[in-house]
Structure 1
């Protein structure tokens, strides 16, 4: 964790991945992030994967370093409290992240009536407010029909919810940008971020939509082959499968040197009148001739001999390994300084991720565990909304709010 956003108070009323990810990143940069949920937990409170005791590892992973308030959102008084939290006073408050519907008690108009300069970042499924999650948006934009091997026509959904994660990061960026603007102009605003628009714009930004509109047709399914450049999985003589990519001239010449396939590659260049060193696209266009050469080169060599030479000559490669194996990889998990072993709220103890960026001039502080549900209800109602002890006790007795363990 770092202190770049220390002093900010962000209120989060969200669930699942995109909204909580936004709040997580802000908390990891030092903001005070207060998440409110229904008493008993929101829709993601018990989502898999689970700790041995049944608590959600998913929930505690996405809510590290936040404060938790439990409110009965089905009751008018509970909804009023949620609105007041979202529109909390102070020059560095009035910052709200949500995936609640655009209409209803957490609408921008309802919140702006409490605070004119409120900033509300609203994560949505579709821009027309239709329901959508990462997996349904992903299927709609066509990615699963580009993924997979060409001899199998079934769509392949990705395991990683990429649009959720991109949307969460984009939401955090937009909130900070709107705050800078508010400091300059005094103006608040609502920012709506549909997963559908994040996905559509990402594909367009990478030229994939223009490719079709230019007449190239649908992107072919080609297994693990990298589109438009040289890259694929290869099997070594000792049975190790490696993902190898050669985009830059250095990567390309290093790969050829290590595998000893220079003469064979030169013969293809001569026969077809091309120079693979100058144009990565040519390596893709002539893959029919190149891939058998490189397959044979890998099949002649053991990984123990190849990999040190790859590193020496700047060849870009990665092993295929399970997540269990990756946990022993010192560059990823085992010796990675972004991880700190903590006991989480579930009682499970394991390495917990801190902020993914490193700020060399700043001290990295260890991550903070996720809170127990409702652990900060009284403190938040008192210091953020100014409620006295008697009023907070009344809300407890009436079942409008709850604390951890109640």
Structure 2
């Protein structure tokens, strides 16, 4: 955590990955984030992975360092309280992150009546407001037909990583800061919508894939091979599988030198009248010939020797590992490094917890904060944000409109 955004106050009403990750990024740069949840938790409060007792590790991970207030949204008094928190005064407040429907209870046009300079960042599924999640957007955009190989036939292969959720969360955080800067200069608030579908289609466009399709190309299914350059998985003599990639000329030359393939590669180049050093596309076009010689070379070398050779020549590669193996065996993923701190979480479990993925040189990295227990900050929010006295707070508890920590 850093203090670069210290003083900003963000209110979050969101579930799942994109919205909570947006606010998490802001919190890890120093913003104060107040998460409003229904009493008993929202739809992601028990989402997997979970502990043996059913506590969500997912929820604990995405809500680190936030303050939590639990409100009964089914009652008018509870909904009004949520609106008051979202639109509370303060020059660095009035920043709202949500994935609630655009025209519902927390519509920007309704909220800005109470605070005209309110900034709402609303994460949606489809740009027209229809519901969608990462996996349905991925299905609609064609990624599962690029993933896999001919062995899958015409069957789609879903990608396990929720890339559009993660990208949308990061893009929403960037959008909120851009809107906040504009407000500082002009006094104007406004609503920003970040649909997963727009993030997905724009990302493919940025990478040239839309243009590729419009010009008659359709991304083929090539298994573990890298599209457009040299890259594939190979197996060492002792049965370890490695991923080898050569995009740049330097990476290609390092691979050739490490495997002592100079004469074999030169022979293929002469037969084709081409140079693989200068053109990564040619390495892809003639990948089958190149895969063959690389496969034979790696198959004759044990992993330890391959690692030594690749390190000495600057080749780009990695051994395949499970996540547990990566945490245990790869020092660059070590949970004892500066990115992690071991904390006790609301579940009662104690485990290494990541802070900000960015390192600001010369800035102090502050301690990582665990997620709150649901409703842990209900009284603090009511007293410090809405300036209610203890009697009024007690009355809200007695009426069941708000809740603190249960159990």
Give the TM-score, by structure 2 length.
Answer: 0.98
Find the aligned partners of 1:312 and 1:336 in 2 and give their Cα distance: 25
Indicate the residue corresponding to 1:387 in structure 2.
388
What whole-Å deviation, never above 9, does each CA across 1:97-116 have from its counterpart, x for those lacking one?
A: 00000012200011100100
4+ runs of 1 displaced by more than 4 Å?
A: none
Indicate the residue corresponding to 1:398 in structure 2.
399
Counterparts of 1:130-279 in structure 2, within 5 Å, are: 130-153=130-153, 154-216=155-217, 218-279=218-279
**Contact 1:65–1:369 (8 Å) recurs in 2:** yes
For residue 314 of structure 1, report the CA deviation from its aligned partner: 1.2
For residue 21 of structure 1, report the CA deviation from its aligned partner: 0.1
What whole-Å deviation, never above 9, does each CA across 1:7-38 have from its counterpart, x for those lacking one?
A: 11000000000000001011111110000000
Indicate the residue corresponding to 2:320 in structure 1.
320
Secondary structure of residue in 1 paired with 2:116: coil
What whole-Å deviation, never above 9, does each CA across 1:315-362 have from its counterpart, x for those lacking one?
A: 111110001101112201344310111111100111001000111211
For residue 54 of structure 1, report the CA deviation from its aligned partner: 1.5
Indicate the residue corresponding to 1:294 in structure 2.
294
Secondary structure of residue in 2 paired with 1:158: coil
Find the aligned partners of 1:345 and 1:308 in 2 and give their Cα distance: 44
Counterparts of 1:3-82 in structure 2, within 5 Å, are: 3-82=3-82
Indicate the residue corresponding to 1:303 in structure 2.
303
For residue 283 of structure 1, report the CA deviation from its aligned partner: 0.3
Counterparts of 1:109-124 in structure 2, within 5 Å, are: 109-124=109-124
For residue 300 of structure 1, report the CA deviation from its aligned partner: 1.3
Report the number of matched residues.
405
Computed over aligned residues only, the root mean square deviation of the Cα atoms, in angstroms, reads 0.9
Indicate the residue corresponding to 1:340 in structure 2.
341
Secondary structure of residue in 1 paired with 2:40: coil
**Contact 2:335–2:341 (8 Å) recurs in 1:** no
**Contact 1:64–1:368 (8 Å) recurs in 2:** yes
Find the aligned partners of 1:252 and 1:28 in 2 and give their Cα distance: 38
For residue 50 of structure 1, report the CA deviation from its aligned partner: 0.6
Structure 2 residues not aligned, in runs of 5+: none
What whole-Å deviation, never above 9, does each CA across 1:140-191 have from its counterpart, x for those lacking one?
A: 0000110012221221111111100000000000001100110000000100
Find the aligned partners of 1:265 and 1:88 in 2 and give their Cα distance: 68
Give the TM-score, by structure 1 length.
Answer: 0.98
Secondary structure of residue in 2 paired with 1:35: strand
Secondary structure of residue in 1 paired with 2:293: helix
Find the aligned partners of 1:323 and 1:348 in 2 and give their Cα distance: 19
**Contact 1:83–1:105 (8 Å) recurs in 2:** no
